[in-house]
Amino acid sequence: MRPALFDTSVYISALRRGNDAALALRRLAADAPLWLSSVVLEELYAGAGDRERRVMERLERDFERVKRILAPNLSDWTQAGRVLARLAGKLRLQTNRKGAADQRRSNCDERRAARHPGAHCQ
C-alpha cells in the first residue's frame, strides 16, 4: 500500500465544487495512506476565503490527528532549489536561442530594406 499525496490543484478543484468535497478526497485514497503536505496547506490557506478557511482548519486538524502532515526538511528545499535552477537554466537557453534566431531575422530584414528602399521591416 503506497502512500498518496495530492497537489494543491486537486484540493482547489474540490473546494470549488463545495459541499466539503476537499474533505471527501480522503476516500479517493482509501487503499493507501493519504498525506497532506505542509506546503500545500500553506498555499490553500493563502488563497482561502472564510468558508474555505474553515474547511482548511478541519483538514489540518484531521491530518494532524493521524500524524500525516508532511513537512519538507532542509534537504528537500535544497534539492527543490537545485531542480528549479536547472529548469530556469534550460528556459534561459531556449529563450536565448529564440532571441538569436529573431535577431538574425531582424538583421536580414534590415539588409533587405537597405537594398530595397521603401520596404518595411516587420
Predicted TM-score (pTM) above 0.75: no
Q: pLDDT tens across 84-112, in order?
A: 898 888 877 777 666 655 665 665 666 66
Nearest to 63 by CA among 18, 6, 12: 6
**Residue 22, C-beta contacts closer than 8 angstroms, at least 6 positions apart:** 11, 14, 15, 55, 59
Which alpha helices (H) appear in 18-73, and where do they start and end?
Answer: 21-24, 38-47, 50-65
Confidence at residue 55, expressed as pLDDT on a 0 to 100 scale:
86
Q: In this structure, what DSSP letter does residue 21 have?
A: H
List pLDDT tens digits, range 41-62.
999 999 988 888 988 999 899 9
